[in-house]
Structure 1
Amino acid sequence: MTRTSSPKPYAGQVIGSGSNIIWRDEGFDGAVLVNKILGYHVFEEDGQHVQIKVGGGEPWDAVVARAVDAGLTGIEALSLIPGSAGATPVQNVGAYGQDISQTLTTLEAYDTRYDCFADIPGTHCGFGYRTSRFNTLDHGRFLVTSVTLRLRRGRLEPPFDPNLQACLSNNAVTDYTPAMIRKAVIATRKAKLPDPAVVANCGSFFVNPAISRETFQYRRIFREPDVPHRETPEGKVITSMATWKNQPLVLVNEASRSTADLLVFKQRLVDAVRARFGVTLEQEPALLP
């Protein structure tokens, strides 16, 4: 990468494995930089904790598998999430009560604005629900070259996140080792979500919306505080796009050859949900360029 004479953003596109992006139909007439930086280094902290430094281009699920095989807890609930390790802090990847902000101590990144490398502590990443400074204030500015995670030896202890508890109960898991939790999470994800290698999809297309308590009470989206009751268009096909039969948050491509079809279908869903519930769905995958 060439050195810049003055601070300015990198004009190209930086991607990881591409599992959470959508390209526009007109394509991109420019350089695309794919993160292929590998590496997995273990640093013993004490008898209870370990820090692992992982290259930004490492496949994320392989990182989880390796940590679980070593008997480390902290990221096992993030099993089978597609993408690269360097992408996990961008949207603060999370599932079943765990997210990357809970274990990330620091990351190294190339700053395309100032043509230098920076060490950024986890406390300076601006983490929130499916968000960080890297997909908001500093979108496109940093290329994450490595992440350092602080994991613990042993196993998770109850009480668990309700979604994780349901996952474990459904799979009859009572031995809460990282390996058993990973196995249960993988089984649950495979049952709910389509394999992107078989059915074209980006995983959850919408972020779970956050609404005020007043809106919650007024719209009565739930019959009880924690039980959803709305009927969803599961598996309903409009043109050549569809919602996945086991998880309506996932949009799948049945036969379309254009991003335009996807965006039309998405907007129909957004409009329908807004009209019925007064809630505006937010798209999760990035639309490039």
Structure 2
Amino acid sequence: MQIESGVSLKPYNTFGLPAVAQTLVRITDDAGVRQVVDHPDLGTTPKFILGGGSNIVLTRDMPQVVLKVEVRGLRVVEERADAWIVEAGAGETWHDFVAWTLDQGLPGLENLALIPGTVGASPVQNIGAYGIEVKDRFESLDGVDLLTGRSVTLNGEFCAFGYRDSVFKHSLAGRVVITRVRFRLPKPWQPVLGYLELERKMAEHGVTRPEPRQVFDWICAIRRAKLPDPAVVGNAGSFFKNPVVTPEQCRDIIGRDPEIVHYPMPDGTMKLAAGWMIDACGWKGKSVGKAGVYEKQALVLVNRGGAIGSEVMLLAKAIQESVYGRFGIRLEPEPVVV
């Protein structure tokens, strides 16, 4: 267990926002979590679990003990008749893990390529893109309870996955440090291609049955074309969730804004494109202080250089009010605001 004091968190959040952790502990295995739990000073102090910092907005310094999860390791657990089971340490970079599975000849996660963050954060957020969510490939995870120090293994049912949601945002919020995650990659592989951007790629390349690596490359190209690289422009990816409404609500909005982008969901509800609504309200490219709305994708808020967390949140609230005033929909932020 490595304990550090007065650590700048600016390098540890993809927005590049300034904040200082009074105490930071680097967690490299389950034993490290138990050492924190048993520590005479740290054990009873409030904790904050930090992965890749790709889904947080830091608005202040951190008095809590920051547990920086850096558990490594990649392995194939087993082959079953209908699937491969693979495991990654919670501190592994998500995109690198996706690329590793393809290098092993084990496809199934390619639609989730280039999503920022770590493996350990993926079930917390139930990350998803282009027709796939973590819950669709999730097998189980290991973690350590911060109250008891006991190891836990949780399956998908217990994780209670929802749209960008899980039990780790509710009853287990800040309670369990995830250390390893296992994924189920179905056999035989079937591509998930039901998105217009992927259909355009197939038409462009004259391919009707793409290989896994092609899908991976296409997803990376699509994301790079419309989303800023956090290493270049500070951001936390999509800042707002796409709101889900009833068919009646959707018809009402279409009556006022016929061009609104919307998608039917399996349960009969309708998903609205938050980025389209933000763009329709005229926010694309606008700024509040040094925080702004990305010019190529209105769903992404960016740090234009030297922004602080309060500027980001002031911008976010202004966008929420604009969208609510025009559409009657209250957008919900994806990142955790600290």
1:129-148 matched pairs, under 5 angstroms: 129-148=163-182
Deviates more, 1:161-170 or 1:182-191: 161-170
Q: TM-score, normalised by structure 1?
A: 0.90
> Are 1:254 and 2:287 an aligned pair?
no
SS of the aligned residue for 1:65 comes to helix
CA separation in 2, counterparts of 1:75 and 1:223? Answer: 32
Q: Aligned to 1:54, what secondary structure does the other structure show? A: strand
Distance 1:169 1:76 in 2: 15
Q: How does 1:1-289 map to 2 (within 5 A)?
A: 1-3=36-38, 11-25=46-60, 27-46=61-80, 48-153=82-187, 155-157=189-191, 160-163=193-196, 165-166=198-199, 168-169=201-202, 172=205, 173-220=207-254, 221-223=257-259, 226=262, 231=280, 232-288=282-338
CA deviation after TM superposition for structure 1 residue 14, in Å? 0.9
Answer whether contact 1:89 1:101 (CA < 8 A) is retained.
Answer: yes
Determine the C-alpha separation between the residues in 1 that align with 2:173 and 2:45. Answer: 11
In structure 1, the residue corresponding to 2:182 is in which secondary structure?
Answer: strand
8 A contact 1:97–1:164 mirrored in 2 = no
Which ranges in structure 2 are unaligned for 5 or more consecutive residues?
A: 1-35, 264-272
CA distance in 2, matches of 1:154, 1:71: 12
**Structure 2 vs 1, CA of residues 225 and 22 (structure 1 numbering), >3 Å: closer, same or farther?**
closer
Does the 8 Å contact 2:37/2:146 carry over to 1? no
3-state SS of paired residue (2:62): coil
Determine the C-alpha separation between the residues in 1 that align with 2:170 and 2:99.
30
TM-score, length of structure 2 as denominator length:
0.77
Measured on the aligned residues, the alpha-carbon RMSD in Å equals: 2.4
Q: Which runs of 5+ in 1 are unaligned?
A: none
- Residue aligned with 1:234, SS: coil
- Matched position secondary structure for 2:324: helix
Structure 1 residues 285 and 157: CA distance shift in structure 2, 3 A: closer
Counterpart Cα distance in 2 of 1:161 and 1:236: 32
Distance 1:18 1:180, change over 3 A: same
SS in 2 for 1:150: strand
Identity in percent: 32
Partner Cα distance (1:148, 1:167) in 2 = 32
Stretches of 4+ moved more than 6 A in 1? none
Q: Is the 8 A contact 1:167 1:185 kept in 2?
A: no
How far does residue 48 in structure 1 lie from its aligned partner after superposition?
5.0
Measured after TM superposition, the shift of residue 104 of structure 1 is 0.9
Give the counterpart letter for 1:161 in structure 2: G
Q: How many residues align?
A: 284
Q: What is the deviation of 1:169?
A: 3.5
Asked if the contact 1:96/1:164 (under 8 Å) is kept, the reply is no
Residues 122, 2 of structure 1: alpha-carbon distance in 2 compared, 3 angstrom cutoff: same
Q: Deviations over 1:111-141 (max 9, x none)?
A: 1133211010112100011000001232111
Give the secondary structure class of the aligned counterpart of 1:29.
strand
Alpha-carbon distance in structure 1 between the residues aligned to 2:135 and 2:176: 17
Instruction: Please state whether the residue corresponding to 2:37 is helix, strand or coil.
Output: coil
After TM superposition, give the deviation of residue 51 of structure 1 in Å: 0.6
The one-letter amino acid paired with 2:303 is N
Displacement of 1:142 = 1.1
Indicate conservation of the 8 Å contact 2:45/2:64, yes or no: no
